[in-house]
């Protein structure tokens, strides 16, 4: 169960503002126009791109058109409205909203004002009672118009008809665009235009504005601005003077009062009065015992400004605020005087139900509650700023926010003409003024992965300084270095190497210095040289899981979303066609396990660097066409991910150093446990820590120890050392082949037991390794031997790594030659001997696969394809005909390899294939492409980045749990996937492509049995194997064979080879796997007569 923070408790206690503050003045009222409107949509038709005829109906405001069933069906959306295309010279659709309302009279000479708070996506013309009242462009800015001149005043109220003609065009031509606001919430999921959706996503209202009023600017969105001096945690409980700035518009000076209310209790804590105020005013008021806001303690206040007589105020404005200070101190980010680590995630504005961002606070609270339960305290909103309801929820739940300007990439920003740059500045100023009282806002960021240059950035900085001078700002996210020293950039969100994993403690993986350059003896690491500004990790991880295809597609179908699962359906159909759909859930589970492990490695590696200040976990929610979230597209938790994140994703966590991937019997285990401490204070010296070491879930040693040294807040320090000898679990000789519980899982865990305040805030953490039986240099069991194919063209001495001391070198056959001759005589072939092939090389290969084949002829039907005619000893008809083609011939009297042996090789040629067909077992350790007749591709251990690609496509590994696989592995991969123990064997390994189109023709109807699968990204969804078994030789499927034996090919692309000596092997996991694979080969050799009918498991 997630820990409940003070923020959660305060949220349960908070009353509504109307309960704690005075009612709004009767002289200023507002009528909401939200809800149903009459709607007419017209999209122009063009000969090259027909649109649809007018569509009419009702539509809800706020909301998007597409989410409510307006538009044409496209490849990716059920309803999509085209919003203009400058290349095709096409204007976009126009939607006309109409609504009639009755409003009361506006007394005492007040004005009627039509307002939209924001969300006009993108351009609208407003008409009231048949008269045009204004035009607006920009979805981040409000609109208002004084409509008093067209509203007929009446004592009993009056009818007002409002029409809004809206389009989603960005007004682009060859000279640029007048609206360059493009961000993640504007993504075009259809791919046919630049705007992904259109609609009126704002709150619409008509208010009566009194003659003397509190002026909140256009749309009345600017509340009174509350500021205060810098505070630290030492300020808690002390008096604090805050300043409340506001503006009074209208005719005559009037009295003003400020009241400060503590929200959780509703208590009035301070007041201040002023007389005869008009225009800009500031009142100072002292909170006698201030409570500070932080992610753990979400104390909030409300400031109420009223003007005129207090018993009948002319106007009232209320704003909520929190007291907190965010600063930079050298390379550190500070919150209320203490160092803060941004445990952050990324948000790409994925809203399948609404497309446009929701306008209800509860929708955001649900998301933020999940984020907080996972340990997050920070979120970066990629190139978008959400509506005010979101920031209200974030204030209450303790999430710090980086709301980024809708400036997604250079391409869009560079399209901005003068009008668009003006809109950028106007939007930036508007939302800063509207949102600056929210304590949850951490910084004001500009563009994604793009520094716009000093002159332009300084304009934005000047606006920020005028409106919110104490807030941090960054002039980009992802395009900086720690050495950058710019006034416009308070800290650096740096893109670290996305292609590599860093280190497992001090064990290097792909890039041991990914997140740090130097480390000391206590495992405290730093950059070299040190940065001059704080550094966080931009878009960290981005690891790609395999989705739960069926259930996710069902959600798209049942939810009513306009978005189609177009990136999932192709994978679904492909797996269904190949017979693999039933195991797609197992793919997802195994993929999710690797996702958690990759993230654990990544996060803990970052936390070793005491100069790091945070990260952006990319992502919390799956992106369109991607699967890189903790939750899926619909914000439902992934069952294999969510329960495991919080143990290493928190402000304070344990990390380890010294734990190896694998151990052999009786080795010593020594692991240092360190605390990365970003809690509320220094670690007390009386803290108690409990550690334990388990073997397959049974504790072999545990200890509760005092922490001998304090770890300062914001620092890293060793708090315990785990040390124990590991038990003797046998050897490769003493553990019989077939025993499925040889290797054992080691689990090291750490947790605080005292004091309770520390134990409650630092999550228990654990780490796994594997204990293996020791490798013993010994001969093979009686009855079979290992023949090593030498020389090995792919590196390494197989004799020194075969695992047994009686391995022998296989005889070296003379390489077969394939000679191609035009216009040969071809014997009349029997029915069924014509095989469609792509060319003569494939024809030659088919001949080599048949032990009875001596001549094959390729008859070309075209330059690239034709028919392969195979002459075998089974063909007795001597009738000969002339056909053009090529001959693939080789002498039948060349020396063959000895049958009935286990051959260890890094490649397969026709002679090894013949040996297998004759009853031998070939163990192929393929570590290079082109080393066999099968197509292979290299793989990585880490998961694919973002959406993946043809070359970056690993989503995980699936190790089957059937009896045969468990027998071969003998206890490895207990969870059904390759954990960190497998890193050295999988990194750079070859994966076999086993889809039908990649198989030898002789294998199509009897495909290999996959024992260990490499899981592809969903966009490719190929059948890939890291380990498989294929029976060859006599059998109903082997119609060309004359061998009395059943032979076998065991093929793996894993890097399990290593040279060993009598003293042992360096990597226990490789030694064990090689031993079991060879013993499996020997067991097949013993059982490979035709009479025994040996089969393992059904092909998959």
Interval 814-841: pLDDT, tens:
444 444 444 444 444 433 456 666 666 6
- Count the Cβ atoms, other than its own, within 10 Å of residue 515: 25
Instruction: Compute the distance between CA of residue 748 and CA of residue 638 in angstroms, rounded to an integer.
Output: 25
Mean pLDDT of 724-749: 96
**Residues 401 and 442: beta-carbon distance below 8 Å:** yes
CA distance 891 to 418: 79
φ/ψ of residue 457, rounded to 5 = -65, -35
Look over the chain and give the mean of its residue pLDDT values, rounded to a whole number: 88
Looking at residue 316, its pLDDT comes to: 94
φ, ψ (nearest 5 deg) of residue 802: -75, -15
Least confident stretch, 445-449, 521-525, 797-801, 1028-1032: 797-801
Determine the Cα–Cα distance for residues 337 and 486; give it in Å rounded to an integer.
23
Which pairs count as long-range contacts for 468-472, CB under 8 Å and 24+ apart, including other chains?
Answer: 468/432, 468/436, 468/444, 470/227, 470/230, 470/325, 471/326, 471/436, 471/441, 471/443, 471/444, 472/326, 472/328, 472/442, 472/443, 472/444
pLDDT of residue 89: 60
Q: Which residue has the tokens 């001969």?
A: 779
Residue 105, classified by CB atoms within 10 Å of its CB into exposed (0-12), middle (13-18) or buried (19+), is middle
E strands within 148-187? 158-167, 172-173, 176-177
- Provide the β-strand partners of residue 80: 72
Higher pLDDT, 83 or 566: 566
Predicted local confidence at residue 340, as pLDDT: 98
Tell me what pLDDT residue 897 has: 59
Give the pLDDT mean for 115-128: 97
Q: How confident is the model at residue 914 (pLDDT cuts 50, 70, 90)?
A: confident
Residue bearing tokens 């793919």: 587
In the structure encoding, which two tokens stand for residue 1016, read together?
A: 């592809």
CA 997, 999, 1005, 1010 torsion-angle sign: negative
Both structure tokens of 882: 């002339």
What are the pLDDT digits (tens) for 201-218?
Answer: 999 999 999 999 999 999
Poorest-confidence range of 165-179, 289-303, 503-517, 676-690? 165-179
pLDDT category at 932 given cuts 50, 70, 90 is confident
C-alpha pair distances (Å), 526 with each of 330, 335, 478, 717: 14, 22, 20, 14
pLDDT band for 228, please (50, 70, 90 cuts). very high
Is residue 53's pLDDT more than 80? no
Residue with more model confidence, 858 or 864: 858
Query: CB within 8 A of 330, min separation 6: which ones?
Result: none
Dist CA 995 CA 485 (whole Å): 53
Per the CB < 8 A criterion, the answer to whether 641 and 630 are in contact is: yes
CA dihedral 999, 1003, 1005, 1006 (to 10 degrees): -120
Residue range 636-656, pLDDT digits in tens: 999 999 999 999 999 999 999
- Dihedrals φ, ψ of 933, to 5°? -75, -5
The β-bridge partners of 986 are none
pLDDT band of 98, cuts 50, 70, 90: very high
Report the chain's terminal Cα–Cα distance, integer Å.
Answer: 40
For 145, phi and psi rounded to 5 degrees? -145, 135
Calpha distance 123→169 (Å, rounded)? 7
Q: Give CA–CA dist 955/545, Å, rounded.
A: 5
Beta-carbon count within 10 A of 225 CB: 19
The pLDDT tens digits of the residues spanning 662-721 come to 999 999 999 999 999 999 999 998 899 999 999 999 999 999 999 988 999 999 999 999
Beta bridge mates, 1028: 1010, 1051
Distance (Å, rounded) from C-alpha 863 to C-alpha 730?
Answer: 61
CB 667 within 8 A of CB 746: no
Q: Write the pLDDT tens digit of every residue in 314-344.
A: 999 999 999 999 999 999 999 999 999 999 9
pLDDT interval class at 879 (50, 70, 90): very low
State both tokens at 297: 């303690």
Residue 1100: per-residue pLDDT = 74
Average pLDDT, integer, range 145-167: 87
How big is the chain, counted in residues? 1100
The Cα angle at residue 169 between residues 163 and 172, in degrees rounded to 5: 140
Is 24 a residue whose pLDDT tops 80? no
Among 115-119, 423-427, 480-484, 999-1003, the minimum mean pLDDT is found in 999-1003
Each residue's pLDDT tens digit, 587-630 = 999 999 999 999 999 999 999 999 999 999 999 999 989 999 99
For 7, the enclosing helix (H) or strand (E) is helix 6-13
User: Each residue of 988-1038: pLDDT tens digit?
Assistant: 999 999 999 999 888 988 999 999 999 999 999 999 999 999 999 754 334
Residue with tokens 């539509």: 59
Beta carbons of 679 and 758 less than 8 angstroms apart: yes
DSSP-derived secondary structure for 653-678: EEEEES--SEEETT-EEEEEEEEEE-
The per-residue b/e assignment along 458-467, b for 16 or more CB within 10 angstroms, e otherwise, is bbbbebbeeb
**CB burial of residue 521 (10 Å; 0-12, 13-18, 19+):** exposed
| pLDDT at residue 267 tops 50 | yes
In percent, how much of the chain has pLDDT > 90?
Answer: 74
Residues 587 and 578: their CA atoms lie apart, in Å, by 15
Residue 1092's pLDDT is what?
Answer: 37
Spell 954-967 as b/e; 16+ CB within 10 A means b.
bbbbbbbeeeebbb
Q: Which two tokens stand for residue 451?
A: 């520094």
DSSP reduced 3-state for 513? coil
The strand pair at 765-772 and 744-754 is best described as antiparallel
Q: Is 863 exposed, middle or buried (0-12, 13-18, 19+ CB in 10 A)?
A: exposed
What distance in Å separates the CA atoms of residue 999 and residue 936, rounded to the nearest whole number? 11
SS3 of 418-464:
HHHHHHHHHHHHHHHHHHCCCCCECEEEEEECCCCCHHHHHHHHHHH
How far from chain centre, in Å, is Cα 794? Answer: 36
Tell me which of 53-62, 825-834, 915-924 is least confident.
825-834
- Confidence tier at 265 by pLDDT (50, 70, 90): very high
pLDDT at 860: 64
What is the per-residue pLDDT for 234? 95
Strand (E) positions, 500-565? 503-504, 507-508, 518-519, 525-526, 535-541
Crossing angle (nearest 10°) for helices 388-397 and 418-435: 40
Nearest one of 210, 182, 172 to 92, comparing CA atoms: 172
User: What is the value of pTM for the model shown?
Assistant: 0.91
Q: Which contiguous run of DSSP H or E holds residue 269?
A: strand 267-277
């Amino acid at each position: 169960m997630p820990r409940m923070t003070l923020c959660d408790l305060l949220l349960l206690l908070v009353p509504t503002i109307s309960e704690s503050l005075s009612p709004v003045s009767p002289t200023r009222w507002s009528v909401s126009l939200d809800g149903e409107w009459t709607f007419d949509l017209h999209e122009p038709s063009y000969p090259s791109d027909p649109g649809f005829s007018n569509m009419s109906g009702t539509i809800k405001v706020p909301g998007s058109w597409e989410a409510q069933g307006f538009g044409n069906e496209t490849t990716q959306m059920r309803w999509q409205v085209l919003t203009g295309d400058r290349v095709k010279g096409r204007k976009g659709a126009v939607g006309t909203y109409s609504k009639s309302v009755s409003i009361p009279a506006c007394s005492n000479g007040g004005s009627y004002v039509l307002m939209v708070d924001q969300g006009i996506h993108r351009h609208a013309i407003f008409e009231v009672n048949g008269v045009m009242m204004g035009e607006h462009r920009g979805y981040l800015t409000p609109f208002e118009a004084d409509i008093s001149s067209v509203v007929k005043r009446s004592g009993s109220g009056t009818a007002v008809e409002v029409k809004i003609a809206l389009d989603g065009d960005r007004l682009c031509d060859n000279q640029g665009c007048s609206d360059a606001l493009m961000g993640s919430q504007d993504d075009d999921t259809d791919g046919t235009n630049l705007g992904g959706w259109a609609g009126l996503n704002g709150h619409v209202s008509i208010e009566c504005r009194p003659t003397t009023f509190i002026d909140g600017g256009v749309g009345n969105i600017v509340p009174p601005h509350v500021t205060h001096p810098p505070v630290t945690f030492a300020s808690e409980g002390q008096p604090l003077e805050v300043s409340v700035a506001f503006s009074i518009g209208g005719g005559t000076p009037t009295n003003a009062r400020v009241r400060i209310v503590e929200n959780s209790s509703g208590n009035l804590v301070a007041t201040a009065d002023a007389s005869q105020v008009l225009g800009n005013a500031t009142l100072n008021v002292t909170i006698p015992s201030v409570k500070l806001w932080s992610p753990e303690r979400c104390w909030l206040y409300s400031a109420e400004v009223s003007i005129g007589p207090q018993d009948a105020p002319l106007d009232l404005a209320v704003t909520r605020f929190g007291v907190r200070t965010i600063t930079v101190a050298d390379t550190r980010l500070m919150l209320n005087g203490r160092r803060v680590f941004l445990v952050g995630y990324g948000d790409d504005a994925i809203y399948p139900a609404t497309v446009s961002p929701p306008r209800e606070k509860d929708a955001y609270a649900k998301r933020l509650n999940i984020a907080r339960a996972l340990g997050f305290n920070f979120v970066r909103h990629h190139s978008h700023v959400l509506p005010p309801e979101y920031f209200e929820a974030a204030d209450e739940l303790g999430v710090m926010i980086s709301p980024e300007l809708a400036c997604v990439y250079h391409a869009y920003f560079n399209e901005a003409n003068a009008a668009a740059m003006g809109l950028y500045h106007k939007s930036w100023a508007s939302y800063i003024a509207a949102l600056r009282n929210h304590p949850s806002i951490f910084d004001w960021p500009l563009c994604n992965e793009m520094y716009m240059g000093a002159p332009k950035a300084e304009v934005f900085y000047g606006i920020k300084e005028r409106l919110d001078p104490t807030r941090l700002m960054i002039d980009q996210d992802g395009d900086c270095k720690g050495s950058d020293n710019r006034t416009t950039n308070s800290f650096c969100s740096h893109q670290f190497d996305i292609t590599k994993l860093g280190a497992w403690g001090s064990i290097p993986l792909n890039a041991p210095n990914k997140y740090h350059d130097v480390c000391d003896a206590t495992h405290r690491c730093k950059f070299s040289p040190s940065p001059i500004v704080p550094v966080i990790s931009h878009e960290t991880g981005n690891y790609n899981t395999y989705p739960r295809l069926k259930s996710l597609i069902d959600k798209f179908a049942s939810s009513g979303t306009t978005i189609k699962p177009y990136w999932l359906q192709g994978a679904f159909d492909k797996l269904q066609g190949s017979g693999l759909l039933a195991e797609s859930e197992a793919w997802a589970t195994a993929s999710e396990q690797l996702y958690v492990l990759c993230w654990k490695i990544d996060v803990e590696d970052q936390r070793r660097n005491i100069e790091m200040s945070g990260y952006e976990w990319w992502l919390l929610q799956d992106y369109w066409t991607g699967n890189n979230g903790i939750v899926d597209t619909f914000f439902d938790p992934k069952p294999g991910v969510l329960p495991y994140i919080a143990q290493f994703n928190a402000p304070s966590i344990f990390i380890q150093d010294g734990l190896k991937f694998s151990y052999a019997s009786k080795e010593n285990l020594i692991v240092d446990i360190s605390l990365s401490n970003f809690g509320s204070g220094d670690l007390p010296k009386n803290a108690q820590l409990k550690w334990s070491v388990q073997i397959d879930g049974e504790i072999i040693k545990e200890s509760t120890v005092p922490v001998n040294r304090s770890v300062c807040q914001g620092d890293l320090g060793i708090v315990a050392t785990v040390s124990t000898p590991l038990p003797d679990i046998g050897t490769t000789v003493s553990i019989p082949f077939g025993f499925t519980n040889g290797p054992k899982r080691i689990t090291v865990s750490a947790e605080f037991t005292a004091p309770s305040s520390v134990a409650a805030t630092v999550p228990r953490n654990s780490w796994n390794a594997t204990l293996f039986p020791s490798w013993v240099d010994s001969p093979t069991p009686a009855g079979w031997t290992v023949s090593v194919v030498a020389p090995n063209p792919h590196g390494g001495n197989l004799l020194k790594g075969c695992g047994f001391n009686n391995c022998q070198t296989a005889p070296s056959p003379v390489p077969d030659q394939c000679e191609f001759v035009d216009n040969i005589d071809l014997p009349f072939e029997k029915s069924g001997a014509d095989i469609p092939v792509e060319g003569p090389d494939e024809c030659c290969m088919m001949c080599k696969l048949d032990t009875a084949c001596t001549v094959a002829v390729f008859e070309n039907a075209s330059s690239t394809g034709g028919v392969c005619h195979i002459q075998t000893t089974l063909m007795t008809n001597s009738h000969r005909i002339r056909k053009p083609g090529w001959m693939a011939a080789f002498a039948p009297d060349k020396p063959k390899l000895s049958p009935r042996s286990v051959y260890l090789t890094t490649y397969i040629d026709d002679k090894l294939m013949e040996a297998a067909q004759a009853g031998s077992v070939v163990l192929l350790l393929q570590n290079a492409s082109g080393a066999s007749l099968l197509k292979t591709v290299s793989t990585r251990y880490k998961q694919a980045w973002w959406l993946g690609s043809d070359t970056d496509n690993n989503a995980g590994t699936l190790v089957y749990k059937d009896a045969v696989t468990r027998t071969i592995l003998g206890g490895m991969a207990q969870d059904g996937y390759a954990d960190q123990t497998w890193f050295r064997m999988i990194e750079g390994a070859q994966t076999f492509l086993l889809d039908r189109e990649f198989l030898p023709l002789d294998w199509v109807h009897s495909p290999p049995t996959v024992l260990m699968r490499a899981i592809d990204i969903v966009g490719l969804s190929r059948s890939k194997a890291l380990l498989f078994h294929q029976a060859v030789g006599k059998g109903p499927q082997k119609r060309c064979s004359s061998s009395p034996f059943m032979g076998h090919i065991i093929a793996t692309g894993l890097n399990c080879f290593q040279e060993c000596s009598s003293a042992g092997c360096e990597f226990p996991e490789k030694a064990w796997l090689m031993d079991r694979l060879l013993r499996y080969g020997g067991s097949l050799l013993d059982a490979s007569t035709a009479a025994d009918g040996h089969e393992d498991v059904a092909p998959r």
